[in-house]
Structure 1
């Protein structure tokens, strides 16, 4: 298993990753797409130094650890953070920080970034500007999907448009669940 390069657990009922995940030294892709019971990302993910793709799209993840910022080879990061439905469980987490803004800046090789959040989550309104600024510094970024609480944040992204081949911004509050980026 140590030579495993792709671990695709998408569409399963997995709730957590084992600590032995750190033993997958060659892992390049960790896919947990549509794992609706998956709520907490193990700090062991930060030890996967060959990881190029981390897909947590359409999960119930409640926070993205700063350890993800240690993944210097990461090229694709997709995450859905919908912790408001599990607010009581979020209180059980050690940290109240859902997403560290500097984590986005630290993964400088990203070519694709998708952060899907619940528009009513106040934590995102407080951090969105810092996350957008961090994304603007990713010179190789080609695909960006974000919810922006207000249109003023589009000003930060304006110089990125020529380099982006795909972007999806949802601006302002909407009642429906934000659709994942394609």
Structure 2
């Protein structure tokens, strides 16, 4: 389906995108919202040169591939990062590679959700903020700031924002059922609701 413009796989049990994804050359919207089992975005995403919206909110995505920086037409990016639970090792210690956000000059809407205790976000947040402060088209911004001093980066961009959300400081950690071992999740489902 080379003419497909919108692919909405939200609220499904999809674990990965098909290898044929780059053939969707006309794709403008890729929606994977609330795909609880989706953990890894293929570097093939960079081949979708016409993509304008990518929604990875409430997925279990671990990081963004460096090839995301090739999506020069991207206007809306929503992503939630969560650290892996259990014994599986992370491939990278970086959630967003430097240079990705600064290449996305057409972004008007950016939302980055993170687990407040994820050290990977604490290590990269200043770099991301510097890149975000150069996005002249940005109108909506939502991201977690581990400390209030990071609000200084927002001074230059704040006047152009029509919507923003900046939780600052320590936030109580929420329990996410999909992050517990499968045996615990199965036991939880058997409890009397």
Output the TM-score relative to the length of structure 1: 0.92
Name the structure 2 match of 1:14.
14
Cα separation, 1, equivalents of 2:81 and 2:89: 11
Kindly indicate whether residue 89 of structure 2 is the aligned counterpart of residue 85 of structure 1. Answer: no
Which runs of at least 4 in structure 1 moved beyond 4 Å after TM superposition? none
Structure ranking higher in strand proportion = 1
Cα separation, 1, equivalents of 2:167 and 2:44: 32
Gaps of 5+ in 1: 178-182
Shift of 1:56: 0.1
Kindly indicate whether residue 102 of structure 2 is the aligned counterpart of residue 105 of structure 1. Answer: yes
* Aligned residue among 104, 112, 121 for 2:118: 121
Cα separation, 1, equivalents of 2:110 and 2:84: 22
From the CA coordinates, give the structure whose radius of gyration is larger: 2
Shift of 1:11: 0.3
Q: How many residues align?
A: 175
Q: Secondary structure at the match of 1:60?
A: coil
Gaps of 5+ in 2: 175-193
Output the TM-score relative to the length of structure 2: 0.87
Cα separation, 1, equivalents of 2:167 and 2:95: 20
Kindly indicate whether residue 153 of structure 2 is the aligned counterpart of residue 156 of structure 1. Answer: yes
**Mapping for residues 12-161 of structure 1, pairs under 5 Å:** 12-85=12-85, 88-91=87-90, 93=91, 95-161=92-158
Cα separation, 1, equivalents of 2:79 and 2:89: 17
Cα separation, 1, equivalents of 2:164 and 2:69: 22
